[in-house]
Amino acid sequence: MCIRRKQLLRLALPLVRTHGFSREALSRSVLSLPEPHPAPLNETAVSALFGKGEDARRTLIEAWLSEGLADMKNAPSKSLKDILSHRLRYNEPVLGLLPEAFATLATPSGFCLFDASPALKHSTSIADEACSVSEDKSIGPLWYARRASLAAVYTAAELHQMNSPDTAYEFLADLLQSSSKLGNAIGDVGQFASYVGRSWAGIIKSRGVLL
Amino acid sequence: MQTLTRRLSRPTCKFAVVRPSWTSPLPTATLRLNHTSSNQGSKDVDSRFTHFGFQTVREEEKESLVKGVFNSVASNYDVMNDAMSMGVHRLWKDEYVSSLRPGARGPLKCIDLAGGTGDIALRILDYARENYADRETSVDVVDINGEMLKEGYKRFKKTMYHNTPQVRFIESNAQALPEEQFPDNTYDLYTIAFGIRNCTSVPDVLKEAYRVLKPGGTFACLEFSRVTNPLFNMLYDQYSFSVIPMLGSILAGDRESYQYLVESIRKFPPQPEFAKMIQDAGFATGGLHEGKGGAWTDLWGGIACIHRGVKV
């Protein structure tokens, strides 16, 4: 990607608080350059750089989400609770704009009426980044299970934050605790099931059914 | 070639605001066997070659040869475009102009290069007027070829824009726009449609585009390009090299000019290379890929392509 386009996207992010995820924010990004332009970009220039119509807004929203992902490294500690709380805090300045932003991402410009893939990509990338920052050592099926559960936890916490921002962090902590208990319970059930299975196999062998 | 050679006489033109630089000797240049390097002063006088379709010619000859081609095709240019593309060129030009949305945020000062017959200029003015009630957007139509400008002037005489400040016709060379006539940082929008491939030095055209655009101004180029699908490309080649020169021969009595037009398309750089040239000229563009967030948009599988850049 052209460096200048990336630079303009980065300069547009602070403007989201005042101008929303809008073409106006992208247009005004040139006013924040080291050598600022005398006027914001016109519609033609915004479309040329960032896409026509809603595509430009989607570009800005995706840039904002990428910035949030990169910011997760700055969490105060490596615990999952702190990392995901830090990510929720990133949402706070633009909380009121998020429902509409996610709706815009889910409404593609093509023929589909609804596209869930941006939402899935958002939650799974946050889960993956959280595991990476917390130096998670899971391997095999546990690698996927860990990320799937964190994605579900974060999605629930973010939805809760949009409705009730004050209790979002406690809700996140409760969910993380429940999911670790659930993980332990599933592990215990699995262990018990394999024990029972081995016992039955031993009984059947001793009866001479399988030679 | 004989037909082209006979047509190398200088035309008379009513629009002699600025004389094109092909009337004076071109500066010397180092050996250039492709269009990617720009003209620079050099002591090496002997090795200056470029392509003219599939032929290799001296640089200083190319402008005259291209001029000869367009002198020949000027009077039936639109008819031939309709015949060759079966009217599709109108759709491409409509898509090109509507993607730029002139007039959406106030009047624009536009310059349309190689815009002789006024196709794009008329579309820009109509779009701004019909969609945004904008009667202040203006277009300077610039072409090196006086005959093409005459056709454009005639077309505009039938419209409401004739004798208004919204349109001007200027004869000049896109590679060297005179600074007194085209000062720095003047225009909001620079368009060039199906013309840049005929220029001797594409980097020089891009450099001049960058100079005359204001900060935040947009460069937009509509040009024939490379078809990405191999099967479609094969059919397109067959059509281009068989049907188009034949149509030129039947409808315009000039097979060679249309043969050149078809060959020149094949010599133009492919989409990513041209996007890189636009970036090298200083423009900010989308990523080096097609489509959303990309530096270009293919039309009809790449037969035509719109490249955009912004002066930041």
Give A115 to chain B, closest Cα distance, Å.
16
Is residue A13 exposed (0-12), middle (13-18) or buried (19+ Cβ within 10 Å)? middle
Asked if A44 lies within 8 A of B292 by C-beta distance, the reply is no
Q: Check: CB of residue B140 under 8 Å from CB of residue B110.
A: yes
Residue of A nearest to B286 (CA): A49
Q: Which residues are CB-neighbours of B1 under 8 A, at least 6 positions away?
A: B256
Contacts of B137 in chain A (CB under 8 A): none
pLDDT digits (tens, 9 = 90+) for A18-47: 999 999 999 999 999 999 999 999 989 999
> Residue B212 in contact with residue B182, Cβ under 8 Å?
yes
Tens of pLDDT along A61-95?
A: 999 999 999 999 999 999 999 999 999 999 999 99
Query: DSSP letters along B196-253, please?
Result: GGGSS-HHHHHHHHHHHEEEEEEEEEEEE---SSHHHHHHHHHIIIIIHHHHIIIIIS
CA distances to A43, A155, B113, B195 from B100, in Å: 8, 39, 16, 18
Contacts of A50 in chain B (CB under 8 A): 286, 293
Select the residue from B97, B99, B105 to test the A interface by mutation, using most A Cβ atoms within 10 A: B105
Identity of the amino acid at A44: T
Asked if residue A112 lies in contact with residue A142, where contact means CB atoms within 8 angstroms, the answer is no
Say if the Cβ atoms of B312 and A8 lie within 8 Å: yes
Contact B285 A42 (CB under 8 A): no
pLDDT score for A210: 60
DSSP, collapsed to helix, strand or coil, labels residue B260 as helix
Looking at residue B98, its pLDDT comes to 94
Numbered residues of chain B with Cβ closer than 8 Å to any chain A Cβ: 99-102, 104-106, 108, 188-189, 215-218, 220, 279, 284-287, 292-293, 295, 308-310, 312
Contact call for residues B44 and B30 (beta carbons, < 8 A):
yes
Q: Which of A44, A66, A104 to mutate to test the interface with B (most CBs of B within 10 A)?
A: A44
Average pLDDT over residues A48-69: 93
Q: Residue A198's pLDDT is what?
A: 87
C-alpha distance from A69 to closest chain B C-alpha (Å) = 20
CA distance B291 to B306: 10
CA B262/CA B260 separation, integer angstroms: 5
Long-range own/partner contacts, residues B177-184 (CB < 8 A, 24 or more apart)? B177/B142, B177/B208, B177/B211, B177/B212, B178/B18, B181/B17, B181/B18, B182/B111, B182/B208, B182/B212, B183/B212, B184/B211, B184/B212
Bridging pattern class, strands B109-113 and B138-143: parallel
Percent of chain A with pLDDT over 70: 93
Cα gap B72→B234, rounded to integer Å:
29
Task: Report which DSSP code applies to A189.
Answer: H
Phi/psi for A83 (5° steps) reads: -65, -45
Q: Specify the 3-state DSSP secondary structure of B20.
A: coil
Q: What does the radius of gyration of chain B's CA atoms come to, in whole angstroms?
A: 18
Tokens representing A5 are 């386009």
B193 pairs with which residues across the strands? B222
Name the residue facing A4 among B99, B216, B284 (closest C-beta): B284
pLDDT at B47: 57
The string of pLDDT tens digits covering residues A122-151 is 999 999 999 999 998 888 888 998 999 999
| Cα–Cα nearest to B236, from B54, B87, B94, B85 | B85
Q: Do B308 and A48 touch (CB under 8 A)?
A: yes
CA distance B179 to chain A (A): 22
Q: What is the pLDDT of residue B11?
A: 38
Q: Which residue has the higher pLDDT, A58 or A187?
A: A58
CA dihedral sign of residues B96, B290, A30, B220 = negative
Give chain B's residues under pLDDT 70.
1-47, 68-77, 252
CA-to-CA distance for A185 and B214, rounded, in angstroms? 66
Quickly tell me which residue has 């490294």 as its tokens: A73
Q: Which long-range contacts (CB under 8 A, 24 or more apart) does B86-89 make?
A: B88/B300, B89/B194, B89/B304
C-alpha to C-alpha distance for B7 and B9, rounded to whole angstroms: 6
pLDDT confidence bin for A179, thresholds 50/70/90: confident
Grouping H, G, I as helix, E, B as strand and the rest as coil, residue A36 is coil
Of B189, B292, B308, the CB nearest to A55: B292
The pLDDT, as a whole number, for residue B269 is 92
Q: How far is B218 from chain A (nearest CA, A)?
A: 5
Q: Is B218 within 8 Å of A45 when comparing Cβ atoms? A: yes
Rounded-to-integer distance, Cα B177 and Cα B111, Å: 11
Q: Is A49 within 8 Å of B108 when comparing Cβ atoms?
A: no
Q: What is the pTM of this model?
A: 0.78
Q: Specify the pLDDT at position B240.
A: 81
Distance of CA A85 to the CA centre of its chain: 12
Q: Do B284 and A5 touch (CB under 8 A)?
A: yes
**B216: nearest CB among A39, A47, A51:** A39
Asked if A157 contacts A171 with a C-beta cutoff of 8 angstroms, the reply is yes
Cross-strand partners of B190 = B111, B219
Structure confidence at residue A2 as a pLDDT band (50, 70, 90): low
- The pLDDT, as a whole number, for residue B69 is 67
pLDDT value at residue B244: 79
> For B269-301, what is each residue's pLDDT tens digit?
999 999 999 999 999 998 888 988 899 999 999
Task: Give the pLDDT of residue B56.
Answer: 79
**Residue B249 burial (C-beta neighbours within 10 Å; 0-12, 13-18, 19+):** middle
The whole-number pLDDT of residue B15 equals 42
The pLDDT of residue A16: 96
Scan for tokens 């059509």, then name that residue: B239
Q: What is the pLDDT of residue B50?
A: 76
Q: Residue A25 has which token pair?
A: 């924010």
